[in-house]
Chains A and B, each alone.
Chain A
Amino acid sequence: MLRSKTKMLQLAVTLLACAFLFVPIVMSVLAGLTANYFQGVSSGLTLKWVFEVWELYANSIFLSMGIAFACLICTVIIGVPAAYGLARHPGWMSRMLEEFISLPLAIPGLALALALLQLYGSMQGFRASWTFILVGHVLYTLPFMVRSILAVLASMDLKTLEEGAASLGASPWQRFRDIVVPNAMPGILAGALTVVTLSIGEFNLTWMLHTPYLKTLPVGLADSYASMRLEIASAYTLVFFILIVPLLMAMQWASARAQRIAK
Chain B
Amino acid sequence: MTNRTFVLACLTPLFIFSLLFLALPLGRLFLASGEGDAGWAVYLDIVRKPRYLNTLVLTVLVSAATTIAALAVSTTAGMFLVRNQFRGRGTVLSVLTLPLAFPGVVIGFLIILLGGRQGLVNQLTPGHVVFAYSAIGLFLGYLYFSIPRVLLTVMAAAEKLDPSLEEAARTMGASPYRVVMDVIIPGLMPSLIASGAIAFATAMGAFGTAFTLATNIDVIPMVIYTEFTLSANIAMAAALSIALGIVTWILLLIARSLSGSTVAGGG
Contacts and interface: CB of A to CB of B under 8 A. Distances in A.
Contacts of A230: 118
A151 B231 CA distance: 45
Contact of A97 (B15, B73, B79, B102): B15
A27 B253 CA distance: 38
A119 B102 contact: no
A5 to B, nearest CB: 8
Interface residues of A, number: 89
Contacts of A114: 29, 224, 228, 237-238, 241
B22 to A, nearest CB: 6
Interface string A79-98: 10110111011000000010
B207 A110 contact: yes
A186 B228 CA distance: 42
Nearest to A107: B245
Contact of A84 (B10, B77, B102, B143): B10
A251 B100 CA distance: 11
Nearest to A151: B261
B109 A109 contact: no
A221 B9 CA distance: 41
Interface in B56-92: 73-74, 76-77, 79-81, 84, 92
Interface stretch (A41-49, A50-58, A65-73, A241-249): A241-249
Contacts of B144: 20-21
Interface in A113-127: 114-116, 118-120
Contacts of B225: 110, 208
Contact of A110 (B102, B114, B221): B221
A55 B204 CA distance: 36
* Interface magnitude class on chain B: 35 or more
Contact of A108 (B95, B109, B221): B221
Given A17-B96, A24-B110, A110-B207, A100 B32 contact: no
Contacts of A261: none
B13 A10 contact: no
B26 interface: yes
A97 B176 contact: no
A204 B208 contact: yes
A119 B80 contact: no
B25 A116 contact: yes
B1 A171 contact: yes
A185 interface: no
Nearest to B19: A100
Given A14-B80, A114-B29, A221 B224 contact: no
A202 B28 contact: no
Residue of A13, A22, A24, A198 with highest tally of chain B CB at under 10 A: A24
Given A21-B99, A225-B109, A85 B81 contact: no
Contacts of B251: 106
Given A13-B80, A81-B13, 9 more contacts: A20-B140, A85-B7, A108-B248, A110-B224, A114-B29, A203-B103, A221-B103, A221-B109, A222-B208
